[in-house]
């Protein structure tokens, strides 16, 4: 699908104000840390100097109420964003918008740069957000004023994050010395303990098989489905299987796929997808299974084929 | 040529825990236990292996905070007192168990002997400075010592290029200070890699880094030899990734060797078993019970409750250790033969990284296991040869070029342990300090004027330089991944939270001195006294 015919791209103009230079003296704490019980020093301890007392009772400084945003990756399918919009930026923009300001809400939008789609949420001037996202995709977050009928007015934007592919590369090396056939690569993955990936490479990408599974379950012609992007179809079904309402997908998948899913919604409940399409509700969980290990590290081991997960640990 | 290479990688790291403001401090015991149970035994067995001609070869990361603690006079004195006190208790225990608790007499005797020998090594052989021992073993070709992030900062979650670069450059400077040479390799903190980190490594002259399995398996293009050969990033820095099979054999609580019923039980400790009055001279002044390191029971069985654990029998455990070492070596031969068949005759390179503290602390018999393993490897077979990543690079064997994939060795393979609902509150503070650090460095190093170099400008205002350098120390200490890790795990949450708060607060207090020009000399000196890590630091490296 080319960029030009992506049907769910909002046809809106964008413009930004340079407000980053403005710093307000207001202060705000973005998030509270976990509650700390003051174990040391003793509450009644007397200090030789105010300096010793100051250092003995550490307090986080208040963060300046400036304009900031940082997008961080937790996994290929989950991102975290925190942001803060200074009061000055907020007010000056609101004034600049003038009369129509009341039509706008402050909004956070996550841009899927790879597919040129977005999701939008109404937010407060400071806060944080967790996003379910797709592997092998570039994302950037923006905060600004949003209106259904007007251009998005960007106040700030975050750094860009590229989520990694959640599986082996589809490419073999070009140089003959390093080129590897599919069968040999399956062996390499198996011997490395990555058996699930070996299976996946062996049978081909799951999305290639999904069209036939879905069409036979819905009792429709496969050609109705093969027009969709296989990876997108799989992702959308996994999202529904995880219990997400279909409305949440409206602007995150192509309009044609959304219409298709909506049409067949009666047969696409979370449990029906899990049972009939073979997509687990755990698609957004990470690929690896934490196995109890000795010591203090939480070292991961890959998911094994048919291996039961034991709850036994050394007490 | 052997059938396969085996590369043991040990990651020795503890966060910087040093509290001169208190006469004794619970968390300093982390270091003291590790010296007694891990570092001294490992040094001792590798020195013996070397002297016996067994030609052991291991790459070991001695992290910069650990180096700084091992070289610190205050901690050296405190450790010596700690060990002497423990020996006193162990000797008391030999008499008590001989009279009243015969089942535990052999294990009590074992501790008294081991600890006395440790004191001899500490005082006489290594002159109370284990850096000397590590350096000696490197010079003898036993260890290839690699470095780590300066304070084990989780690089992908550090927000500025300058702050990421500082984690690497401060580590390299510190390595040069302690080991007198340039490090070849680095243990990326938590093996956390994302695209671009290799450029920072190259800038600092690092030749290779250790990564997790899927960094290579999911890299692009597909790796011809999986994780059983290194790959080279397009910029020429190599990476060696973790072999899963050897990890599981040693580390997995389901199938790993340390779960053997005859091995020592970690959680049953005399600090909780013996009467408080009897223990009192060996506890801290607060008289609170704690682990003392004398543990008299065996695992006995996974489902056996703590109160029903059997007495530990050192002889039985030793036999089992020899058996496990033999099994491990046999499995390496089998693995190498299988891999070689798939590799059209190329010799596979099996990289096996572990926390050093697994050997001796968590798995009491671990150092003995390594001793048996290297002896058998040298004298009983020719299929497997020990090699370090640096040895591989020196061999000039061709290396596939590949872009590795973002990954870490932590739970679930990515960054979840260090960024999640429990610890995400930390990052706005950390990132704010990172931004301010570069701002303050830019402002203060360039305002001194003239055409002098940055260093000369800095030295023209010594007090400003002191503050900038201490700011860098506080930022680095706040960035330690250990705090977010402990908060996620739910262990030592209070201490870890407090440490993070302390460093952020101290950073802010110092930054305000520069911002306002009002320097509180007493406060500055007190912060310098407490957080004295990296005396050699040059904060101008935070300049853009």
User: Per the omega criterion (within 30 degrees of 0), is the bond before A41 cis?
Assistant: yes
- DSSP class of residue B303 equals T
Calculate how close chain B gets to A149, using CA atoms only, in Å: 34
Q: Which range, of A276-285, B207-216, B245-254, averages the lowest pLDDT?
A: A276-285
Nearest chain A residue to B406 by CA distance is: A164
DSSP output for A250-283? TTTS-HHHHHHHHHTGGG--HHHHHHHT---TTT
User: Residues B519-543: pLDDT tens digits?
Assistant: 999 999 999 999 999 999 999 999 9
pLDDT on residue B230: 98
Higher model confidence: residue A288 or residue B98?
Answer: B98
What pLDDT sits at residue A43? 61
Contacts of B319 (CB under 8 A, 6+ apart): none
Nearest CB among A37, A169, A300 relative to B410 is that of A300
B11: nearest Cα among B192, B265, B139, B202: B192
Q: Which residue of B has its CA nearest to A301?
A: B244
Q: How many residues does chain A have?
A: 315
Q: Which of B157, B218, B398 sits opposite A164 (nearest CB)?
A: B218
Probe site for chain B from A20, A27, A31, A33 (most B CB atoms < 10 A): A33
How confident is the model over B412-424, as a mean pLDDT?
95
Interface test with B, best of A55, A294, A301, A313 (most B CBs within 10 A): A294
- Given this model, what pLDDT does residue B457 score? 52
More confident residue, B223 or A285: B223
pLDDT above 90 (res B82) = yes
- pLDDT at residue A150 in the model: 84
Contacts of B336 in chain A (CB under 8 A): none
- Nearest residue of chain B to residue A57 (CA atoms): B502
Evaluate if pTM is beyond 0.95: no
With CB atoms and an 8 Å threshold, state whether B363 touches A295.
Answer: yes
Mutate to test the interface with A, among B226, B291, B399, B501 (most CBs of A within 10 A): B226
Task: Calculate the average pLDDT of chain B.
Answer: 94
Residues of A in contact with B253 (CB under 8 A): 291-294, 312-314
Shortest Cα distance, chain A CAs vs residue B175, angstroms:
24
pLDDT tens, position by position, B140-179: 999 999 999 999 999 999 999 999 999 999 999 999 999 9
A294 falls in which pLDDT band (50, 70, 90)? low
Q: Does A190 touch chain B (CB under 8 A)?
A: no
Least confident of A162-166, B48-52, B250-254: B250-254
Most B CBs within 10 Å, among A188, A282, A284, A312, to test the B interface? A188
- Residues from chain A contacting residue B509 (CB–CB below 8 Å): 54
Whole-Å CA distances, B277 to B271, B292, B341, B346 = 11, 15, 64, 64
Q: Say whether pLDDT at B392 is over 90.
A: yes
Q: Is the dihedral of CA B374, B376, B378, B382 positive or negative?
A: negative
Which of B212, B252, B415 is facing A293, going by the closest CB pair?
B252
**How far apart are alpha carbons B97 and B296 in whole angstroms?**
11
Predicted confidence at residue B529, as pLDDT, reads 97
| pLDDT tier, A299 (very low <50, low <70, confident <90, very high otherwise) | low
Domains and their CATH numbers in chain B = 4-71+129-257+325-413 (3.20.110.10), 426-539 (1.20.1430.10)
Q: Pairing state of beta strands B4-12 and B384-386?
A: parallel
pLDDT in tens, B30-50: 999 999 999 999 999 999 999
Residue A311 has pLDDT above 70, yes or no: no
Q: What part of B 66-105 touches A (C-beta under 8 Å)?
A: none
- Cβ–Cβ below 8 Å for A82 and B427: yes
Determine the pLDDT at residue A295: 58
**ipTM above 0.85?**
yes
What local confidence, expressed as pLDDT, does residue B305 receive?
A: 92
- Of the listed ranges B29-33, B324-328, B454-458, the least confidently predicted one is B454-458
Q: What are the distances in angstroms from CA A230 to CA A13, A250, A307?
A: 30, 17, 29
**Nearest residue in chain B measured CA to CA from A160:** B159
pLDDT value of position A103: 79
Q: Indicate the domain borders of chain A.
A: 14-34+61-162
Whether B196 and chain A come into contact, CB under 8 Å, resolves to no
Count CB-CB contacts under 10 A for residue B56. Answer: 24
Q: What is the mean pLDDT of residues A33-59?
A: 70
pLDDT > 90: percent of chain B? 92
User: What average pLDDT does this structure show over B446-459?
Assistant: 49
3-state SS class at A160: strand
pLDDT, tens digit, for every residue of A78-96? 999 999 998 877 778 778 7
pLDDT at A293 (0 to 100): 58
Tell which A residues from 96 to 155 touch B, by Cβ distance under 8 Å: 128
A-chain residues near B222 (CB < 8 A): 168-169, 171-173, 180, 185, 188
**pLDDT attached to residue B506:** 98
What residue of A is the nearest CA neighbor of B356? A295
pLDDT per residue over A249-282, tens digit each? 877 777 888 899 999 999 998 888 888 877 765 5
Asked if the C-beta of B306 comes within 8 angstroms of chain A's C-beta atoms, the answer is: yes
Per-residue confidence (pLDDT) for residue A93, from 0 to 100: 77
Asked if residue B541 lies in contact with residue B440, where contact means CB atoms within 8 angstroms, the answer is no
What residue of B is the nearest CA neighbor of A183? Answer: B342
A9, pLDDT greater than 70: no
Higher pLDDT, B190 or A6: B190
With beta carbons under 8 A apart, name residues in chain A contacting B527.
55
B72-79 long-range Cβ contacts below 8 angstroms, 24+ apart:
B72/B18, B72/B532, B74/B18, B74/B20, B75/B18, B75/B28, B75/B31, B76/B128, B76/B129, B78/B24, B78/B28, B78/B32, B79/B31, B79/B32, B79/B35, B79/B122, B79/B128
Whether B212 contacts B239, CB under 8 Å: no
Nearest chain B Cα to A173, which residue? B221
Q: Do B413 and A300 touch (CB under 8 A)?
A: yes
pLDDT digits (tens, 9 = 90+) for A202-259: 876 555 577 788 888 898 988 888 778 777 788 788 888 878 888 878 777 778 888 9
Which residues in chain A have Cβ-Cβ distances shorter than 8 Å to B256?
Answer: 293-294
A90 touches chain B (CB under 8 A): no
Do B420 and A295 make contact, defined as CB atoms within 8 angstroms? no
Cβ contacts of B417 on chain A, cutoff 8 Å: 298
Q: Please determine, for residue A169, whether its predicted confidence score (pLDDT) is greater than 70.
A: yes
Lowest-confidence pick of A19-33, B189-203, B427-441:
A19-33
Contact A295 B358 (CB under 8 A): yes
Confidence of residue A30 (pLDDT cuts 50, 70, 90): very low
* pLDDT of B491: 85
CATH architecture of A14-34+61-162: Sandwich (2.60)
Q: Which of B243, B299, B424 sits opposite A80 (nearest CB)?
A: B424
As a whole number of angstroms, the distance between CA A229 and CA B486 comes to: 42
In A117-237 the beta strands, taken as DSSP E runs, fall at: 117-122, 126-132, 138-146, 152-162
Residue B494's CB is within 10 A of a number of other CB atoms, namely: 16
Interchain CB contact of B518 with A (< 8 Å): no
Question: Phi and psi for A81 in degrees, rounded to 5?
Answer: -130, 135
Nearest beta carbon to residue A191 from set B305, B338, B485: B338
């Amino acid at each position: 699908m080319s960029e030009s015919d992506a049907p769910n791209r909002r046809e809106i103009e964008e413009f930004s104000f340079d407000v980053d230079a403005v710093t307000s003296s207001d202060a705000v704490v973005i998030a509270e840390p976990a509650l700390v019980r003051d174990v040391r020093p003793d509450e009644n301890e007397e200090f030789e100097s105010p300096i010793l007392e100051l250092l003995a009772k550490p307090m986080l400084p208040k963060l300046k109420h400036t304009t900031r945003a940082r997008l961080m990756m937790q996994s290929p399918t989950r991102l975290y964003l925190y942001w803060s919009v200074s009061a000055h930026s907020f007010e000056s923009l609101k004034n600049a918008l003038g009369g129509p300001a009341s039509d706008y809400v402050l909004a956070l939008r996550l841009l899927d740069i790879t597919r040129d789609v977005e999701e939008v949420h109404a937010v407060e001037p400071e806060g944080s957000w967790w996003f379910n996202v797709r592997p092998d995709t570039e994302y950037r977050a923006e905060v600004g004023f949003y209106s259904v009928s007007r251009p998005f007015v960007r106040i700030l934007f975050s750094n860009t994050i590229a989520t990694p592919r959640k599986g082996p590369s589809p490419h073999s090396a070009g140089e003959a010395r390093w080129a590897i056939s599919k069968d040999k690569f399956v062996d390499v993955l198996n011997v490395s303990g990555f058996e699930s990936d070996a299976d996946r490479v062996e049978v081909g990408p799951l999305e290639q098989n999904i069209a036939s599974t879905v069409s036979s379950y819905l009792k429709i012609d496969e050609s109705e489905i093969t027009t969709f992007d296989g990876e997108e179809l799989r992702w959308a079904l996994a999202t529904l299987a995880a219990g997400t309402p279909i409305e949440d997908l409206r602007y995150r998948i192509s309009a044609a796929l959304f219409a298709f899913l909506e049409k067949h919604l009666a047969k696409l409940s979370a449990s029906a997808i899990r049972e009939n399409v073979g997509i687990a509700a755990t698609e957004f969980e990470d690929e690896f299974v934490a196995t109890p290990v000795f010591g203090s590290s939480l070292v991961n081991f890959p998911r094994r084929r048919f291996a039961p997960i034991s709850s036994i640990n050394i007490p | 040529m052997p059938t396969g290479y085996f590369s043991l990688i040990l990651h020795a790291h503890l966060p910087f825990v040093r509290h001169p403001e208190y006469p004794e401090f619970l968390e300093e015991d982390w270091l003291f236990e590790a010296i007694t149970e891990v570092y001294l035994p490992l040094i001792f067995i590798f020195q013996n292996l070397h002297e016996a001609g067994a030609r052991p070869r291991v790459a070991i990361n001695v992290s910069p905070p650990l180096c700084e603690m091992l070289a610190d006079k205050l901690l050296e004195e405190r450790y010596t007192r700690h060990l002497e006190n423990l020996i006193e208790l162990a000797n008391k225990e030999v008499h008590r168990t001989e009279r009243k608790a015969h089942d535990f007499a052999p294990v009590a005797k074992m501790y008294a002997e081991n600890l006395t020998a440790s004191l001899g090594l500490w005082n006489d052989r290594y002159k109370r400075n284990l850096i000397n021992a590590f350096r000696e073993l490197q010079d003898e070709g036993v260890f290839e010592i690699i470095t780590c992030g300066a304070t084990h900062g989780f690089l992908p979650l550090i927000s500025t290029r300058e702050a990421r670069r500082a984690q690497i450059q401060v580590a390299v400077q510190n390595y040069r200070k302690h080991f007198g040479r340039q490090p070849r390799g680095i243990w990326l903190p938590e093996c956390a890699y994302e695209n671009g980190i290799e450029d920072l490594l190259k800038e600092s002259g690092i030749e290779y880094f250790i990564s997790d399995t899927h960094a290579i398996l999911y890299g692009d293009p597909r790796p011809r030899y999986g994780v059983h050969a290194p790959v080279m990033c397009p910029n020429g820095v190599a990476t060696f990734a973790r072999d899963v099979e050897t990890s599981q054999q040693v580390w997995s609580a389901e199938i790993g060797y340390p779960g053997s019923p005859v091995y020592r039980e970690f959680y049953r400790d005399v600090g909780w078993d013996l009467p408080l009055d009897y223990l009192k001279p060996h506890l801290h002044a607060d008289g609170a019970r704690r682990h003392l390191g004398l543990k008299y029971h065996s695992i006995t069985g996974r489902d056996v409750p703590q109160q029903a654990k059997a007495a530990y029998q050192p002889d039985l455990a030793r036999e089992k250790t020899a058996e496990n070492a033999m099994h491990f070596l046999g499995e390496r031969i089998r693995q190498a033969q299988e891999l070689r068949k798939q590799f059209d005759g190329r010799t596979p390179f099996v990289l096996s990284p572990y926390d050093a503290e697994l050997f001796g602390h968590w798995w009491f018999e671990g150092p003995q296991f390594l001793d048996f393993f290297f002896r058998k490897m040298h004298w009983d077979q020719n299929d497997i040869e020990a090699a370090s990543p640096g040895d591989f690079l020196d061999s000039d064997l061709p290396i596939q070029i590949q872009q590795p994939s973002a990954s870490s060795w932590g739970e679930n393979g990515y960054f979840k342990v260090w960024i999640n609902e429990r610890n995400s509150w930390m990052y706005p503070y950390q990132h704010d300090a990172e931004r301010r650090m570069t701002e303050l460095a830019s402002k203060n190093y360039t305002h001194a004027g003239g055409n002098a170099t940055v260093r000369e400008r800095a030295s023209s205002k010594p007090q400003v330089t002191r503050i900038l350098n201490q700011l860098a120390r506080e930022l680095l200490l706040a960035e330690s991944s250990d705090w977010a890790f402990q908060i996620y795990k739910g262990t030592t949450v209070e201490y870890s939270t407090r440490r993070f708060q302390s460093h952020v607060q101290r950073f802010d207090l110092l930054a305000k001195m520069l911002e306002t020009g009002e320097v509180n000399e007493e406060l500055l000196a007190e912060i310098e006294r407490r957080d004295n890590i990296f005396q050699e630091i040059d904060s101008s490296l935070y300049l853009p």
